[in-house]
Structures are given as C-alpha cells and as structure tokens.
C-alpha cells in the first residue's frame, strides 16, 4: 500500500518539489521585475545628441551597457562596442570637453559574480523545470510511491490490521437477511476448503442493492471487521479521470494488489458511477468510463477458484448497471438491503442509542411505529437531533419530548418561531388541517391521526401526521380514501370561507399523482382495463426530455386524463359531504387548534368522540368507501 504512515514527516522528495516551485516563482519574479524596471532603450547616436544639447545629467557605464539619466529625470539605456572607451566615443561624435562639464560620468567594473548571477537568473528557472520533469518521468518509470505522474495507480484504501474498521455484524441491525448472506461470504474467505471439498464455487462478486441510507456501506465495513483479511475500499468515481486510459490502469492496479494480498475483499462503493450501461447517452460509445468498465469485466473473469478475492459492490441504482456486470460469474449474488420494518427500526434505534443517556420513559417500539419509511441513516439522524435538543435544554437525559421535537424537525424542518401569521391566515390553516383530520377520521381505509398542528415548520403552515401501518399491498379502496383525505383541506376552505387558497397545492399534487398511479401503473381503472401506461424502463441516461416518450396513443392519453379527473371529482365530493355532515366536529376541532395550536392522537380522538354527530357506523362507511395514497405518504403539508 502506497500510503504514508500517520505521524511521519513528509519525505525529502516532497521538500525538493516545494523548493523547486519556490525557486521557479522567485526566478520568474526577478525576471519580470527586471523587465518592468528596465530603462527605455535608445540608440548611441540619440544619447550623444542629447549630451551635445546639454540634456544629460549622468552617464553610468557597466561593461557594454550605458545608463543615461536625463535632466528631466527620465532614464534611457544604450550599448556601445566593447572595445570603445568613452573618450573615443566623445571624440568620434565631436563632443567637446566643455560640453561634458555638467555631466557626471561613472564607470562600474562588471565582476565575474555579476555575470554569473545574470546567467543564473536568465536560464536557472528553465534548467530547474527540465530537471523536475526528467525526475518526474524517471519516477514514473520506476513506479515511485510519491510519483505525481502515477495517474494509473489505484486510489483504493487497504485497511490493514491497524486501521481496519472495528464495526462487526453486531453493530448492524434491521437487515438480518443481508447479514446472513454476507456472513457466508466471510466464511468463504476463512474456510475455503470447506466449500471446495463439496465442489462449491466461491462467488466472485456480491452486489448490494438498496435505497440510500439503508446501511450498504456499513455492512461492507462490518465484513471488513469480521473477515480479518485485507480489505480494499474504493468509490466508483475514483477510477475515472480526465486522462484516457487512467481508469483501466487503476482497475488493473487494484486487482493486482488484491490478488497479491489474497484472500482479500475489494469493496467498490457507488459502482453505478463506473458501471453504467454501455452505449447509452447522446455522446460517443468509446469513452473513458466504458474502457474502465470493460477492464472490470475482464478482471472479474480472470478470477479462478484459488484466487480467494471477492468483490463487493454497492449501488442504489441497479436499473442503470450494465447487464454484463450483473450476470452470474461476475456478481453471483445480489443482496437487497431494503428499508427496515418496524422491528428493524426498533433494533436500529437501540444500536444508535448506545452510549447515549436515553430516559426510561422512551419506548423505542413506539418510535419505530411512528417512523415508517425511515432508513437507518434517517433513524441515526433522528437520534442525533434528539440528543442535540437535550443538550440545548441542559438536560442530562434524552426524553420523549426531545424525540418528538426531533421527529418534527427531521420531517418538516425547524419550527419557524419568527413567522408571524395574521389571524385570517391562522384561521384558514386551522380549518384546512381540521378538514384533513376529520375526513380521515370518518374513512375506513386511512391511518390513525397521530398529530395535528398549525405551528409553521419549514415550508408548511401546519400539517396532519398519521400513523401508517406496515402494508405490503394497497387496494383501490385504500387509494381512494387517501385521495379523499388529501382533498379534505381544500373542501374545508370552500365550505367555511367560500374561497380557496394556495395551501392545498401540495395536496392536489399528491392526489393527482395517486390517481395517475392507479390508472397508469396499477390497472385500477374501471374503463381502461388492465394495461399499464408509461414506459418505466425508459433510458435513464438520456434525461426526461429525450428518454421519457409516451408509449401510448393520444386517445389513451385523453382517456387517462378523463379517468383521473373523474377520480378526483368523486373523491372531492366525498370530502365535501363528510365535512358538511360533521360540521360541528369541524368547528370544534378548528377552534381548539386556534387555542392550543397542537393536538396529539388522544386529544384529537377525544374531541371526535364527544356526543354529537359521533363516529358514523361502519356499514355507512363501507357503502361509500374507496381508497387513497401511496404507502410513503405519512403526513400532509398545508401552508
């Protein structure tokens, strides 16, 4: 590994480069200064004419050079023949002795050192540049460790015994299946004979696929901590530079090092940066990235059963990887690292709580239920924000209030205490959010309302947060109820204020996206039938303008628009009907929000279950129920 040990001083060659650069800069400065301060040049005839006319104050002779100071203060320079003396020059040009009475004559002897200094300043920087380049190329041929021309050398970090990650599989939670797959890879490296004896082939590569923040890199670090073998870590973007051939050279260098250190693991993070499908895009097909990918394919084909080098790669964009990279024999195993379920989130929270003084009142199980859709990185950020809130409040433990505030901050942004809302805006937001909450309460296929607030946060003037359940599938009724709830805020504004505001813009976007997904992706249309519309496999390299063309007719597009409009209109009418039917609940909830600003689930359900209209019977709900939004929508934004 060509890495300088921590705590050591820079090598002598580094100081040579530094001093050389300083010398070049100094020499250029001297040369430039000499050029800028150089007197104006004149002919010898012009100088003698000036002496004859009494315009010269001093003449200084240094070797062949004559510096002449004029009476007006300007300085000019000229040269004479080396064999000519001043007396001979004055006699030749007919200048009498009385004409020289006001002229101060000085003759300086030009020593050998002055001549040498002039030569050094003139050609020294050029010689130094020649020496630096010759030294650099000799180092490149010798493969020196400090070679700045070694573009083809791999930038992979070899984590040896001293700096290998201390992370183990015990530090990774919520991805148990992925851990089992990678634990077997570790066993391959530790006991290869066990598998070879029964004719099993050790996998050449493992591709970890999953959304951002789910722990792919952490799993790779855990493999490094468990395996106890050399671990080479590099990012896909570090292969490619602007010089042609550098990427392929770095790939060869990396795999040569790994083979020499076998058994070893090579981890390529974000492999999509170099492993994208070849021949895609608007440019030429023979670019540097494709050459690098070709070299990776060749190197992985060169592994045999006795090599004992396993490549682990991670990506969140498997759809753009080259098919040749994905085939068995290169990446034999694909490990899907998905978002954790409620049990996984609870375990992840407990891992990140290690070393933190969490109050006994905090239930990680309840927090895990509230954080559906959170990745491991999101949960780590949530825990950190809660700790920051506790420190800000000078508390010794992290309590439930800190987790609640951290959850709001992570989802919606910081509380905007400086934003002053007018009474009219505050009342509009209160009825808007009450509309969402009331409509949701009286629908069957919606999640329980967890929190309602009209406190501005981030871009929102207020929001309704629901507690999503873990679902693998969603029905048509679910989507229709979710759309109805999303339109509840706009319906409330129309009924109580007889006007609409911009607060419903995000609600309309969500409702439209869900309605289109029902028709175009899920085949839930009553008139268009089972076909799906829109090519989800459009080329990701061409961009939306070039790669997102429609694969259906203009008549189908019109039918889709009509169907989406029909769904939205029907759901909006349902929202209006529910709000009109439960008018008193709306007023009660909005007035309460105007007074206390925030309600939790218990307080909200207590208001809804007060004597009055009450909760409608399930039979009545079932008759008109339809469904609602995608599973990743957990809260509503208005403002």
Positions annotated as catalytic residues are 433
For 403, the token pair is 């987790």
User: What sign for the dihedral angle of Cα 501, 505, 506, 511?
Assistant: positive
Report phi then psi at 321, rounded to 5: -75, 150
For CA atoms 545, 551, 556, 562, the dihedral sign is negative
State the first-to-last Cα distance of the chain, in angstroms, to the nearest integer.
56
Of 408, 366, 375, 419, nearest in space to 598 by CA: 408
| C-alpha distances out from residue 492 to 430, 436, 484, 504, 514, Å | 10, 8, 12, 11, 21
Q: Are the C-beta atoms of 131 and 21 separated by less than 8 Å?
A: no
Q: Does residue 488 contact residue 511 with C-beta atoms inside 8 Å?
A: no
Query: Using CA atoms, how far apart are residues 390 and 358, in angstroms rounded to an integer?
Result: 10
State how far the Cα of 346 lies from the Cα of 365, in Å rounded to an integer. 6
Cβ-based neighbour number of residue 209 at 10 Å? 22
Cα 477 to Cα 435, 445, 481, 627: the distances in Å are 20, 7, 6, 3
Nearest of 227, 242, 238, 239 to residue 299 by alpha carbon: 239
**CA 102 – CA 115 distance, rounded (Å):** 31
* 71: Cα separation from own chain's centroid: 69
Question: Which residues 6+ apart lie within 8 Å of 573 measured at CB?
Answer: none
CA 132, 138, 144, 150 dihedral sign is positive
Task: State CA 341 to chain mean position distance.
Answer: 25
d(CA 515, CA 525) in angstroms, rounded, equals: 10
């Amino acid at each position: 590994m060509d890495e300088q040990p921590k705590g050591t001083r820079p090598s002598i060659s580094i100081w040579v480069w530094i001093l050389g650069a300083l010398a070049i800069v100094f020499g250029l400065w001297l040369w430039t200064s000499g050029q800028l301060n150089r007197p104006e040049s004149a002919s010898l005839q012009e100088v003698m004419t000036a002496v004859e006319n009494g315009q010269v104050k001093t003449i200084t002779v240094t070797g062949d050079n004559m510096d002449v100071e004029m009476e007006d203060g300007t300085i000019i320079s000229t040269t004479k023949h080396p064999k000519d003396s001043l007396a001979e020059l004055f006699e030749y040009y007919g200048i009498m002795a009385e004409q020289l009475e006001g002229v101060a004559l000085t003759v300086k002897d030009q020593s050998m050192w002055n001549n040498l200094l002039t030569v050094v300043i003139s050609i020294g920087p050029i010689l130094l540049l020649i020496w630096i380049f010759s030294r650099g190329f000799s180092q490149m041929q010798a493969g020196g460790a400090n070679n700045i021309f070694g573009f083809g050398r791999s930038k992979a970090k070899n984590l040896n015994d001293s700096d290998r990650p201390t992370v183990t599989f015990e530090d990774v939670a919520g991805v148990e299946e992925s851990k089992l797959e990678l634990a077997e890879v570790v066993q391959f490296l530790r006991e290869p004979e066990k598998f070879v004896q029964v004719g099993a082939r050790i996998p050449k590569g493992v591709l970890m696929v999953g959304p951002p923040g789910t722990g792919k890199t952490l799993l790779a670090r855990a493999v490094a901590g468990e395996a106890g073998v050399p671990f080479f870590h590099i990012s896909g973007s570090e292969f490619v530079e602007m010089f042609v051939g550098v990427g392929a050279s770095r790939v060869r260098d990396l795999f040569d090092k790994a083979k020499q250190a076998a058994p070893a693991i090579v981890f390529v993070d974000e492999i999509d940066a170099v492993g994208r499908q070849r021949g895609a895009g608007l440019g030429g097909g023979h670019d540097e990235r494709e050459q690098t990918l070709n070299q990776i394919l060749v190197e992985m084909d060169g592994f045999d059963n006795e090599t004992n080098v396993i490549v682990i790669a991670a990506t969140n964009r498997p759809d753009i990887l080259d098919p040749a990279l994905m085939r068995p024999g290169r990446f034999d195993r694909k490990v899907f690292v998905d978002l954790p379920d409620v049990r996984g989130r609870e375990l992840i929270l407990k891992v990140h709580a290690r070393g933190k003084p969490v109050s006994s009142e905090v239930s990680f199980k309840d927090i895990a239920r509230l954080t559906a859709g959170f990745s491991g990185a999101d949960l780590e950020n949530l825990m950190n924000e809660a700790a920051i809130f506790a420190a800000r409040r000078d508390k010794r433990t992290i309590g439930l209030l800190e987790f609640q505030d951290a959850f709001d901050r992570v989802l919606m942004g910081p509380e905007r205490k400086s934003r002053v809302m007018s009474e009219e805006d505050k009342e509009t937001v209160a009825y808007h959010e009450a509309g969402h909450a009331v409509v949701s309460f009286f629908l069957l296929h919606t999640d329980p309302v967890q929190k309602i607030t009209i406190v501005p946060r981030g871009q929102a003037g207020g929001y309704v947060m629901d507690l999503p359940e873990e679902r693998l599938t969603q029905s048509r009724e679910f989507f229709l109820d979710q759309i109805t709830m999303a339109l509840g805020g706009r319906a409330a504004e129309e009924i109580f204020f007889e006007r609409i505001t911009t607060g419903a813009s995000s609600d309309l976007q969500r409702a439209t996206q869900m309605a289109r997904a029902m028709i175009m992706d899920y085949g839930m249309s009553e008139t268009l039938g089972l076909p799906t519309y829109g090519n989800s496999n459009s080329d990701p390299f061409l961009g939306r303008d070039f790669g997102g063309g429609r694969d259906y007719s203009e008549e189908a597009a019109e039918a889709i628009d009509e169907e989406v409009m029909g769904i939205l209109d029907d759901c909006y009418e349902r929202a209006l009907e529910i709000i009109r039917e439960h008018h008193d609940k709306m007023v009660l909830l909005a007035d309460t929000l105007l007074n206390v600003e925030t309600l939790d689930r218990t307080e909200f359900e207590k208001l809804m279950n007060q004597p009055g209209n009450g909760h409608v019977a399930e039979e009545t709900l079932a008759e008109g129920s339809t469904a609602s939004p995608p599973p990743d929508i957990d809260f509503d934004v208005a403002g």
